[in-house]
Chains A and B, each alone.
Chain A
Amino acid sequence: MRQTVWLILGIGAVALACRAQTLPDAPGKAAYQRACGTCHAAEMVLGRAMNRDQWGAEVADMITKGAKIGDADFPVIVDYLARSFPPAPSPASGSGRGAGAGRGGGGGGLTMGPNDQQVVDPAAEARGRTVYIAECVTCHGSKARGSRDDAPDISRGPDLVRSLVVLHDRYGGAIGPFLAKGHPMQSGKSSASLAQPQILDLSHFLHAMVDETLRGGPYSQPVNVLTGDANAGQAFFNGVGRCGACHSPTGDLAHIAAKYDPVALQQKLVFPRTMSLGRGGRAAISKPVMVTVTPPSGARVTGILVHVDDFNVALRDESGTYRSWKRTPGLKLEKKDPYAAHVELLEVYTDKNIHDVLAYLETMK
């Protein structure tokens, strides 16, 4: 009987584990495929699960790695991914996996691990956590990463996230036989006394602990970036940083801290061209590079730089007309990057300067 229940549970879970094999149809699919498909198998995101902010950070990261995604496409692609691959539901206890956890939910556009990996059931995970706290936590630690180095011998236990029994387990199939051999527990009973449903629950909890260790788990956000000194930040802003040459706390920067959370603001301050989502999910638009082209014969033309390489240059002029030229020796080209001063600062400021300026910007709610 027990075995039958076991089997049914197992089959149900295996069915759950099957991943979608194709990209869902939703607005933005074409933009996503166009931008990402040249380098990645488009199917790479299948099985991943993250919220809009996390997808935004990921797509922004890919842009810095060379992905060609314009201001207009950025929010469209992020929305497609966020809508198609939202976070998995959290366990009932509310203390388990955060957004994006799970083996499908790795960083760097990676779907990782075996296809038949266990899909954690949040309710079972919560029940398993109760069993774990009652019988295992003293020796194996709150995150199942084993006892502390200074633990007394009587409560020393190995790291279960690194355990081969756990990593090879599916729905208790490896953990069950291990525990059936008998293993001391906190209650003084032998682990052989655990019922099969408890073992299945424990299995879900332990796999959740493995998932939490993976990229995209709950430990994938900076904890606290507000460590700076606002006064020192103001001094740098007006002094060495020469920020006042372009910015004003009561002008363009007024309420800047209300637009971005501190981490996004710190990133924006150092890398203003990095695309990011503001509070409320609005995508920030970066300022374009301007270019002036003077052909060997003919008038000079100024506009927004569309494309430049060693051989050709293209711009969109004031009237919105696209124009391009071959770069011949006689053709003059002048680029004006509105963020050039930020690039120069990369070799000027210290980490303390950055944290101080962030603290100063945080005063501009």
Chain B
Amino acid sequence: MRNPIFPITRAMPVRVVSRAMAAGVLVASGLAGQILDPARLVHPGTDAWPMYNGDYSGRRFSTLAKVNASNIDSLSLAWVFRIGAGESGFSGAIKATPVLLDGILYFTIPDHVWAIDARDGREVWNYTWQSRGGIHIGNRGVAVSGNWLYFETPDCNLVSLNLKDGTERWHTPICDLDQFYFGSIAPLVIKNHVITGVSGDDLDIPGYIESHDPETGAVQWRWYTHPNTGDAEAKTWPNSDAMMHGGGMTWGPSTYDPELNLLYFGTGNPQPVIAGKARQGDNLYTESIVALNPDTGRMAWYFQSSPHDTHDWDAIEVPMLIDGTIGGRPRKLLAQASRNGYFFLLDRTDGKNLVTAKFAKANWSKGIDAKGQPIPDPAKMPQPNGALVSPNQGGAANWPPPSFSPLTGLFYINASDAWSIYYIYDDDEKPEGWAGNDRGGFSQTSLEAIDYRSGKIVWSHKWEGPGTRAGVLSTAGNLIFTGDAANNFVALNATSGEPLWHANLGSGVTNGPIAYELDGTQYVVAGAGDTLWGFSMVRKP
């Protein structure tokens, strides 16, 4: 069907339009030879971290064990790379997870890309995009395919650079800046598709996810995060106007199951954000976990984490793929610790809910329905005089990535018990945009280890201080790496949660840490504010 805002038909292949530039590029890439072997994306070695989450599963588990619970005391600083050290003097937080390929780390902040040597942190090249605007709140990083790198810009472009020297190959629009869309996510490469998502919830615009041709950037398909008029799900909106302007941005990372050939991602808040009175109903497919066929853009299933949300609790947190065992039977599972305070476990073949359990304070639901979805309590929707709600707008969790260790069977996440007061500001019969917000608050963050099979919290390590937004890495060395609320990069025992090692980075960890091994040395890398820090066993054994 067509959304009147965009002339592109949803879930229909779009004929690749061959532009002069694109044709030239095709020749160039053909000559370039050495193409990234797709097998390296499906089964990356320990010397690579070839995509945002390290692999398609989103587990952020490293099989490396050289650095482990018994020798972690020897982990020390190997190198430092400060992005603000250049002449431009710009600042900003590194929210990107670096991508590692052939000994080089590639990472971003909005409008900037760096390639640095993964062994010593020295710059190989950097690239700056001349921006036309858009929200510069963060950029999650790059995707790679063949000799090419892909990233999104705040002013709505997908840009392709040459991995070798950072020169631009092409750029192509992915959204309309005039409607206040912007780009922030790390794209995901699946076969001959570059998957892009969009951000922006200031005006009432529809969300969508797109697939682009890796060679030309041309759109292969676009899938809107709302139903087709006439679908049963369209009845979750009062009218098609509300549905076509209903939000549901796709600003979270995607995961992918090559066997099922399904792409998984979460969708963001409905619009208007806080005032829900002109969009009565569940508002599908906002705040949902969605499975699509990446070749066609056709939906296989959906599960809604927050029906009719009014708290900005985007369900874009990593839809993590776990191959686990339930009741003695091997199962293909999908787990999400959602911003709304609930942990969901689904069967990723069909989206059926297996577990719904709170992992943080959440006072907004009246219970769980037959589908496993929380039922919103109208009393805890924003009110003109204020409603005390947990979690707060920042959420029990947010975009910082969690981790799962197949060795411990535990799902690790920095979870916040948080409260704030939600107000309706615009009592108009047709509120638009936000029309309200939350204010103030209290927050206490803990690193939690959750049994994926039951959703039960096995252990919880309470951080001193109000909160941390750090991602998590687990390793075969029985270690968890993350950031605390006091600017420390911390390693903990993955089985017990005991803190073992730390380094004060002067700023809180702002991305998801990664691990890799080069020339027999294991490195652990984390971003904190404007600095990327590399740690390794520097001393000879």
Contact = CB atoms under 8 A, between A and B. Distances in A.
A binds B: yes
Nearest to A274: B440
A106 B423 CA distance: 17
B391 to A, nearest CB: 12
Contacts of A60: 440
Given A64-B420, A115-B131, A168 B464 contact: no
Contact of B203 (A108, A109, A111, A213): A213
B134 A39 contact: no
A351 interface: yes
Interface in A147-171: 148-149, 159, 161-162, 164, 167-168
B385 A225 contact: yes
A215 to B, nearest CB: 5
Interface in B520-534: 529-530
Contact of B486 (A64, A307, A347): A307
Contacts of A273: 442
Given A61-B440, A351-B386, A219 B499 contact: no
Interface in A309-360: 309-311, 343, 346-347, 349, 351, 354-355
Given A42-B91, A107-B434, A214-B202, A66 B136 contact: no
Contact of A41 (B90, B361, B392, B442): B90
Given A38-B93, A112-B134, A222-B423, A64 B466 contact: yes
A221 B132 contact: no
A186 to B, nearest CB: 21
Given A223-B427, A355-B385, A271 B442 contact: yes
B529 A38 contact: yes
Nearest to A355: B385
A38 B131 contact: no
Interface in B439-454: 439-443
B457 to A, nearest CB: 18
Contacts of B24: none
B10 interface: no
A116 B132 CA distance: 8
A129 interface: no
Given A223-B384, A224-B385, A310-B502, A112 B432 contact: no
Contacts of A311: 488, 499, 502
A163 B423 CA distance: 27
Interface stretch (B99-107, B173-181, B337-345): B173-181
Interface string B378-390: 0100011111101
Given A112-B134, A113-B177, A164-B5, A39 B510 contact: yes
A266 B135 contact: no
Interface string A28-72: 000001000111111110000000000001001100111000000
B152 to A, nearest CB: 16
Contact of B484 (A161, A221, A310): A310
A72 B202 CA distance: 33
Nearest to B392: A64
A267 B421 contact: yes
Contacts of B508: 38-39, 66
Contacts of A274: 440-441
Given A106-B202, A220-B437, 7 more contacts: A39-B529, A43-B90, A112-B202, A115-B132, A164-B179, A225-B384, A263-B439
A343 B442 contact: yes
A131 interface: no
A252 to B, nearest CB: 20
B507 interface: yes
A270 interface: yes
Among B132, B180, B529, chain A packs the most CB atoms within 10 A around the CB of B180
A83 interface: no
B529 A113 contact: no
Given A57-B439, A167-B179, A214-B202, A114 B134 contact: yes
B89 to A, nearest CB: 9
Contact of B488 (A64, A111, A161, A309): A309
A108 B110 CA distance: 17
A-B residue pairs, 7 tightest by C-beta: A219-B426, A309-B486, A38-B529, A115-B133, A41-B92, A114-B133, A213-B433
Contacts of A113: 133-134, 177-178, 180, 202
B268 interface: no
Nearest to B273: A215
Contact of B468 (A66, A213, A223): A66
A274 B440 CA distance: 6
Contact of B441 (A112, A114, A271): A271
A4 to B, nearest CB: 27
Interface of B is mostly: loop
Contacts of B529: 38-39
B469 interface: yes
Contacts of B484: 309-310
Interface residues of B, number: 79
Interface string A217-256: 1011111111110000000000000000000000000000
A97 interface: no
A66 B132 contact: no
Contact of B135 (A112, A159, A217, A351): A112
Contacts of B245: 162
B204 A162 contact: yes
A281 B178 CA distance: 37
A40 B429 contact: no
B388 A354 contact: yes
Interface string B300-313: 00000000000000
B92 A40 contact: yes
Given A145-B430, A311-B488, A111 B136 contact: yes
B510 A117 contact: no
A108 to B, nearest CB: 8
B435 interface: yes
A123 interface: no
A110 interface: yes
A347 B93 CA distance: 34
Contact of A40 (B91, B239, B421, B423): B91
Given A220-B437, A309-B464, A310-B502, A41 B388 contact: no
B181 to A, nearest CB: 10
Contacts of B137: 108-110
A308 interface: yes
Nearest to B419: A346
17 contacts: A33-B91, A38-B529, A64-B392, A110-B135, A114-B134, A115-B131, A159-B241, A215-B434, A219-B425, A222-B386, A223-B384, A223-B427, A226-B385, A270-B419, A307-B486, A354-B386, A355-B386
A151 to B, nearest CB: 12
Contacts of A64: 392, 420, 440-443, 466
A122 interface: no
A362 B508 CA distance: 40
B376 interface: no
A303 interface: no
A146 interface: yes
B38 interface: no
Contacts of A227: 385
Contacts of B530: 37-38
A222 B134 CA distance: 28
Contacts of B466: 64, 66
Contact of A114 (B110, B132, B485, B488): B132
B180 to A, nearest CB: 5
Nearest to B109: A41
A310 B463 CA distance: 8
Contacts of B180: 112-113, 214
A214 B203 contact: yes
A273 B440 CA distance: 9
